[in-house]
Structure 1
Amino acid sequence: MLRRLLALMVVAGVIAPAVAFPPFQKQFLAKYADGTDEAFTKLAKGDAKCFVCHQGKSKKNRNPYGQALAELIGKKDQKDTDKIVAALEEVAKKPSNPKDSKSPTFGELIEEGKLPGGDLDAVKAEPAK
């Protein structure tokens, strides 16, 4: 019995950190994955999920889109839907490569049906240290 309890605690510990802040994801999906672009909706709700903002296995790692959002919103803003939506709109106007002001904006990438933080394989890979 003790082994089962310990195993359950280990599994819960492994699964829990993988959860992104649901209110942020919910607002992103409502705004950009509403079914208008079926392929993007399927990608954002399916394979991409947390990788819209995160990179690699640890949810502490953010891709460029997630980094830009983190500058505007954080854990304390989970219940502030207006602030989340405003942050999504503001970040959509920013260049996807902060070092290149002529790079497409995050919003333009989303309009093209692309993930704003990079292609799926890139965001699934562990970030360079």
Structure 2
Amino acid sequence: MKPGDEYHCPKCGKNTFLKKEAVMDGWTRKGDVLKCAACGHLAGSLAPEVKGEKADPLKSAAADRFKNLLGADDFEKRPKLNSSESEEHFCKDCLHLIPHPFVNRCVKFGKEVNPMDDCPSFTKKNT
């Protein structure tokens, strides 16, 4: 049995479905049980889910075949992005930006700006 399965409840006599509910002991979760959605009658308990280790996608056979196809040996190395100082004039890094959840404003020009806009009079923040 699993949550969402059809269920004929012996207590209320209705054809209904099962819902999953957590069993708590104070603030500690003890497990999960299945209950009738109509009356709440206990139908059974769920086995705890076994969490296995996540497989590393770079260590699989498919990843090895892909590496051989491309002829590259170093998939662990990350590329370096070389950008000059003149390319990093975004409003998000500017001293004049006033960030706000609804409207980002530029103090210098007194207008709404997008954080990824280019600033003509960029002044770097002191971070």
State the TM-score, normalizing by the size of structure 2: 0.20
Higher relative contact order (CA 8 A, sep 6+): 1
State the TM-score, normalizing by the size of structure 1: 0.20
Going by fraction, where is strand more abundant, 1 or 2?
A: 2
Going by fraction, where is helix more abundant, 1 or 2?
A: 1
